[in-house]
Structure 1
Amino acid sequence: MISTDIKNICCIGAGYVGGPTMAVIADRCPSIQVNVVDLNENRIKDWNDSDLSKLPVYEPGLDDVVARARGRNLHFTTNIEESIANADMVFISVNTPTKIKGVGAGQASDLRWVEACARQVAQCSRGNTIVVEKSTLPVRTAEVIKSILSSPQRDNRNSGELKTFEVLSNPEFLAEGTAIVDLENPDRILIGGESESAVEALANIYLQWVPNEKILRTSLWSSELAKLTANAFLAQRISSINSVSALCEATGADVREVANAIGTDSRIGSKFLDSGPGFGGSCFKKDILNLAYLCRYFGLPEVAEYWENVVKLNNWQQARIAQLVVQKLFGTVATKKIAILGFAFKADTNDTRESPAIMIAKDLLEEGAEIAIYDPKVNNEQIKKCLALAENKEDLSQAYKTQDAMNSEGKWSYKNDVVSAISGADAIIILTEWNEFKSLNWESLAPLMRHPAWVFDARAVADKTAIRCAGLNIWRVGDGSK
């Protein structure tokens, strides 16, 4: 019999979702012991570091939450088997990347880690256990988990009784950069399940700080599909406004004025109408492609094509920005220095997964540019992995430019601040909306650049008038004014 009184939680996966989510649960539910487990020893070490600035996930407010709960009822460990064995409830919060080969390659989710977790839970758990899908999963993934868990498993430490399991879907709806706020004051909590007692056991945890009216109880399949659909709709709005931004630039309109006008319509609303270099992060592209794959699998090719076009438009926007840089710099960026300000996919996070900066940087490197990259929260090792290129600090702008150099692939280097990034640069591209970039002193920065110099503001956060007064040319996304 499943108990609704949860005393011990185990979360498999100490990443962007598992770590912050469990930290908030532990903070708000001091009577529950919360163990976050992971195979990555370095990640667990960082979660346990006394220096809270070294947490593996950067989120405003996360350090305070961890400081309050860690060591009291929040624990980070690599002792997976024991943590599962002691748990009344196990959250599966592991990566579900897009498959790169095999059936569904390029669209379907790779569920190998979810399956591995289910098998480990089946083996190590004791008695009655509630298993919660926290990872973003395709519809009916719960069937896979239930099939593994329903295989006869006996608890040798409990008189040989058969173990019992209930599976719930509890997708996260976090926006990176505001994850702690989203967790502490969520728009909704979605719980899908077939067992009322299991659903209420999880609901009772959230009820410690979330009003009951915000807790939505659905079937398993509706819960799984709702997560994919929510991300698809949000990404669709970004691609839609970015398509309009290109039209604004061509016609003389300003996309911010257009967005404000349509955003005041209560049927549309103002959120996710900020034009920029496109969406990034771990979920949007992956979830849309997975949704498209499911549509094709169930015989809905027209629906699949509709959602695929959202991703195509996003890729086009990033390629368009890179092409604009080349065009404005007299048709070539070979051996020219370009400063990229911001590499995280959005402000207030150190996450670079699917960041627009990756594609834009790679396109410019292919054109032979020398790129200097600065981001206040992303380090050079992380950038190196994203670009899959070794850092090269040779300064081509100062080197003797042979014909071979002019024809070679570009180079990149990591910089520790804005000044070193833009010194000697022909152009600046603002790709992340960090507050630091909103108040730059253009009068003092302009003399450091090689003129005629450009600022490409892909986030529309810089002071356009100040940039022009400093003698710099400016392109701002969605701004058709001359």
Structure 2
Amino acid sequence: MKVSVIGCGYLGAVHAAAMAELGHDVVGIDVDENKVAMLASGKAPFFEPGLPEILTAGIGSGRLSFTTDMSAVKDAQIHFVAVGTPQKKGEYAADLTFVDAAIESLIPYLSDGDLVAGKSTVPVGTAARLATLIADSGSKALLAWNPEFLREGFAVQDTISPDRLVYGVPGGGEGEKAKELLDEVYAVALSSGTPLVVTDYATAELVKVSANAFLATKISFINAMAEIAESTGADVTRLADAIGFDARIGRRFLNAGVGFGGGCLPKDIRAFTARAEELGRGESVAFLKEVDAINLRRRQKVVDLVVESFGGDVFGKRVAVLGLAFKPDSDDIRDSPALDVAAKLKGLGADVIATDPEAISNAEKTHPQLVYTPDIAVALTGADAVVVVTEWKHFRDLVPADAAKLVKRAYVIDGRNCLDPVAWRSAGWEYRGLGRP
């Protein structure tokens, strides 16, 4: 099929390249000339495993192109809207400026029978409003909402072989036509048995935000248990193992640590809270404010442990911070707990040196006050304390005895509970985990 993707940030670039990989003819549209030029040359503007390969393949085959010219969408039959919905400054609510602008720019080029498929995460009620906007323009194009469920680090896999597909479509014949078009786009996934849920606009919008809210709640729950464990001497990791055997609970995402970050979970649960309050149902998701608060407290806990280890004053102490991205296999520093910890320690006067396999260049742009190195050994050399805040394999695989030879003081805070306490203590380290004795 001929497909356009409006917005070529993280979501849009991956979606465009993956659609081309599936055999569709795809044009990606973005207002950022530098980003378009980079993508058009086959270079990914961010780190995502597998993306450079399918990007290069798509461009080489002629099935994938990028441009700033919106008129390039006119030959496409399906138009995916994948622009960002950031948190409004000073508010919890989502900023829909980019979504509205994308739809308004797209409308003049829509043909009868075209399908606009929203992928951006939006507050419930947005799709119905946009459908009315499209109809009022005189266009006979259809609107569907097709939320994404990408995991950074696995986004290519999640797009080509999703664990489920959700279509939010209008009623009647229009809904059937929208479904037919989306079925054609996702024919490969559907033929392999990918579960499909076809529903209304509001449900499709809620699927994404409720999934993120549930995941955030699960992470914050185990971090709340870590807080209790720290006051009682219990081991939150063994606790998670025990309750994780219950099939109703499951062990995944019950890893206590410095908490979640990134461009989705934090802003999505805040936007969900704001939208619920607009609907007069704020009490229904009031618990999400505590989920957010627990998450932010764990960042401060790591900082407090560092300060405590020096008797209350970190001024002039050299602290090696291992990790800047909010998660491994990503260079995304949006709302990153790791970068937040590094910046807080620097603000308290510590001599911070930070390292990360992929996120240094992004971190330098937002926190130029920090000192960075791509070399783990350089970061460790002469350190008075080591803080692991992103669970990259590079850090998990460190040999404790070798690391001990580099530091000035063998003190490590495992902000992700990803190290082996026995191995590190046996090598002479004072080890502190979160929620672990």
Q: Secondary structure at the match of 1:91?
A: strand
Counterpart contact for 1:23–1:74, Cα < 8 Å: no
Aligned-partner residue type, residue 179 of structure 1: A
Shift of 1:151: 2.8
The answer to whether the 8 A contact 1:122-1:148 is kept is no
Q: Match for residue 430 of structure 2? A: 473
| CA drift at 1:328 | 1.3
Of 230-239 and 251-260, more deviation after overlay is shown by: 251-260
Q: Once the 2 structures are TM-superposed, how far is the Cα of residue 314 of structure 1 from its aligned partner?
A: 0.5
Distance 1:257 1:73, change over 3 A: farther
* Maintained 8 Å contact 2:355/2:375: yes
Matched ranges for 1:276-355 at <5 A: 276-355=257-336
For 1:145, the equivalent position in structure 2 comes to 130
The answer to whether the aligner puts 1:59 opposite 2:48 as a matched pair is: yes
> In the aligned structure 1, how far is the partner of 2:72 from the partner of 2:219?
41
**Contact 2:82–2:118 (CA<8 Å) still a contact in 1?**
yes
Instruction: Say how many residue pairs are matched.
Output: 432
SS at match of 1:70: helix
Which of 231, 244, 249 is the matching residue for 1:250? 231
Q: 1:16 aligns with which of 1, 10, 29?
A: 10
**8 A Cα contact 1:319 1:359, kept in partner:** no
Maintained 8 Å contact 1:335/1:369: yes
User: Structure 2 residue aligned with 1:35, among 17, 23, 27?
Assistant: 27
Query: Which of the numbers 54, 61, 66 marks the counterpart of 1:72?
Result: 61
Q: How far apart are the structure 2 equivalents of 1:110 and 1:469?
A: 51
User: Contact 1:136/1:227 (CA < 8 Å) preserved in 2?
Assistant: yes
Residue 300 of structure 1: how far off its partner (Å): 2.1
Q: Higher Cα Rg: structure 1 or 2?
A: 1
Distance (whole Å) between structure 2 residues aligned to residue 432 and residue 204 of structure 1 = 39
1:99 corresponds to 2:88: yes
Is 1:90 aligned to residue 66 of structure 2? no
Residue type at the aligned position of 2:207: A
**What do residues 111-155 of structure 1 show as CA deviations (whole Å, max 9, x unaligned)?**
1111111111112333432111111011011133223222344xx
RMSD: 1.7
Query: In the alignment, which residue of structure 1 is the partner of 2:119?
Result: 134
The alpha carbon displacement at 1:169 in A equals 0.5
1:234-278 Cα offsets, whole Å, 9 max, x none, are 000000011112222332222221111111111111221111210
Distance 2:111 2:226 in 1: 56
Displacement after TM superposition at 1:70 (Å): 2.2
8 Å contact from structure 2 (residues 390, 416) kept in 1: yes
SS in 2 for 1:280: coil
Deviation track 1:336-391 (CA, whole Å, cap 9, x = no partner) reads 111111111111111111110132122212211111010001123x113333xx34
Q: Does 1:183 align with 2:169?
A: no
Find the aligned partners of 1:97 and 1:252 in 2 and give their Cα distance: 40
Letter in 2 for 1:284: L
1:271 has 2:252 as partner: yes
Q: TM-score, normalised by structure 1?
A: 0.86
How far did residue 212 of structure 1 move?
5.1
Contact 2:316–2:351 (Cα < 8 Å) also in 1? yes
Helix, strand or coil at the partner of 1:448? coil
Unmatched 5+ stretches in structure 1: 1-6, 154-162, 392-411
> Does the residue aligned with 1:150 lie in a helix, a strand or coil?
helix
The equivalent residue for 1:409 is none
The residue correspondences of 1:146-161 to structure 2 (distance < 5 A) are 146-153=131-138
Q: Provide, for residues 208-257 of structure 1, a one-character-per-residue CA deviation record: whole Å limited to 9, x for no partner.
A: 23345511111111000111100000000000011112222332222221
SS in structure 1 at match of 2:300 = helix
Percent identity between matched residues is 34
CA deviation after TM superposition for structure 1 residue 25, in Å:
1.8
Note the C-alpha offset of 1:44: 2.0
Task: Say if 1:208 and 1:185 are closer, same or farther in 2 by CA, change over 3 A.
Answer: closer
Q: How far does the alpha carbon of each residue in 1:28-79 deviate from its partner, in whole angstroms, 9 at most, with x for none?
A: 2x2x2111111112222222335xxx42232222233223322325424224
SS at match of 1:321: helix
Task: Give 1:80 deviation, angstroms.
Answer: 2.8
Alpha-carbon offset, residue 24 of structure 1: 1.7
Q: Does 1:423 align with 2:381?
A: yes
Aligned equivalents of 1:295 and 1:319: distance in 2? 28
Amino acid corresponding to residue 200 of structure 1 in structure 2: E
Aligned to 1:44: 36
Matched position secondary structure for 1:208: helix
Preserved contact between residue 162 and residue 194 of structure 2 (Cα < 8 Å): no
Aligned to 1:209, the other structure's residue is in SS state helix
Question: How far 1:282 sits from its partner (Å)?
Answer: 0.7
Shift of residue 301, structure 1, vs aligned partner:
3.0
Residue 201 (1) aligns with residue 193 (2): no
TM superposition shift of 1:423? 1.3
Alpha-carbon distance between aligned partners in 2 of 1:148 and 1:171, rounded to the nearest angstrom: 20
Runs of 5+ unmatched residues, structure 2? none
3-state DSSP of counterpart to 2:286: helix
